[in-house]
């Protein structure tokens, strides 16, 4: 997969000193500072429809939207983070993830970033599940079983198909309405 390089301490210092314009996100991804503008409505709808299904299924997690994670290979701000109840309580803005059950990213403009760099970094951090909604390809990808900087299992479904989310979720994600 993607080789994770150690962060340059000078770049990290500069990154942490930056302030994003209102509504923007700044991430440090694979040694590059990435500024992301506010997303369109389709992006927000895709996230909200996954979140709605998770909580309608009776899952008891905390949800962090745009929570800063410190992982090997960068400082990322995923679209959503599902954690064990209380795991984010008292955590600083940039947090080494513990208790993260699943990270959700919506790939729009640069899906390669979500598919390679973030995938390797989330796996190296031991995040159990990484869910990618690829708006361009109209597919949903679930990565599971992290180890050695990659995930050991990947399931891909097209829009309209059901995606089994294993325990602790324990339901099938309906992808029919995720892409507007």
Residue 163 corresponds to which tokens in the numbers above? 């995606």
For residue 180, tell me if it sits in a domain: no
Tell me the two tokens of residue 15: 């990154």
Residue 121 CA to residue 69 CA, distance in Å, equals: 10
Q: How far is CA 99 from the centre of its chain?
A: 14
- The verdict on residue 56 lying in a domain is yes
pLDDT over 90 at 23, yes or no: no
pLDDT bucket at 46, cuts 50 / 70 / 90:
very high
Q: Residue 115 belongs to a domain with what CATH number?
A: 3.90.1570.10
Residue 4 covered by a domain: no
Give the pLDDT of residue 6. Answer: 63
Residue 1 pLDDT exceeds 70: no
pLDDT at 2 over 60: no
Q: What is the pLDDT of residues 77-98, one digit of tens each?
A: 999 999 999 999 999 999 999 9
Tell me, yes or no, whether 2 lies in a domain.
no
Domain extent, residue 164, equals: 9-174
CA-based max dimension of the chain:
46
Report the C-alpha gap between 108 and 168 in whole angstroms: 28
Q: What spatial distance separates the first Cα and last Cα of the chain, rounded to whole Å? A: 31
> Distance between CA atoms of 63 and 35, rounded to whole angstroms?
23
Instruction: Give a yes or no: residue 1 inside a domain.
Output: no
Q: Which residues contact 23 (CB under 8 A, 6 or more apart)?
A: 37, 38
Least trusted range by pLDDT, from 8-17, 45-54, 103-112: 103-112
Q: How confident is the model at residue 112 (pLDDT cuts 50, 70, 90)?
A: low
Q: How many domains does the chain have?
A: 1
pLDDT score, position 148? 85
Q: Give residue-wise pLDDT tens across range 130-157.
A: 999 988 889 999 999 999 889 999 999 9
**Predicted pLDDT of residue 146:** 97
Considering the domain boundaries, does residue 43 fall inside one? yes
What is the rounded CA–CA span in Å between residue 58 and residue 52?
10
Distance CA 160, CA 49 (A): 13
Which residues are registered as beta bridge partners of 26? 35
Residue 63 located in a structural domain: yes
pLDDT recorded at residue 56: 97
């Amino acid at each position: 997969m993607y080789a994770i390089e150690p962060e340059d301490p000078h770049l990290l210092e500069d990154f942490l000193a930056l302030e994003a314009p209102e509504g923007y996100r700044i991430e440090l991804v694979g040694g590059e500072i990435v500024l992301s503008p506010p997303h369109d409505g389709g992006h927000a709808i895709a996230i909200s429809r996954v979140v709605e299904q998770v909580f309608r299924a009776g899952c008891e997690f905390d949800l962090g939207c745009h929570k800063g994670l410190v992982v090997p290979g960068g400082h990322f701000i995923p679209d959503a983070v599902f954690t064990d109840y209380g795991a984010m309580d008292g955590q600083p803005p940039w947090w080494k993830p513990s208790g993260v059950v699943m990270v959700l990213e919506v790939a729009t403009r640069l899906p390669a970033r979500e598919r390679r760099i973030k995938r390797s970094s989330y796996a190296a951090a031991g995040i159990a599940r990484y869910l990618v909604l690829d708006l361009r390809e109209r597919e949903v990808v679930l990565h599971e079983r992290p180890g050695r900087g990659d995930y050991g299992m990947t399931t891909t479904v097209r829009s309209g198909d059901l995606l089994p989310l294993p325990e602790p979720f324990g339901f099938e994600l309906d992808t029919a309405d995720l892409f507007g």
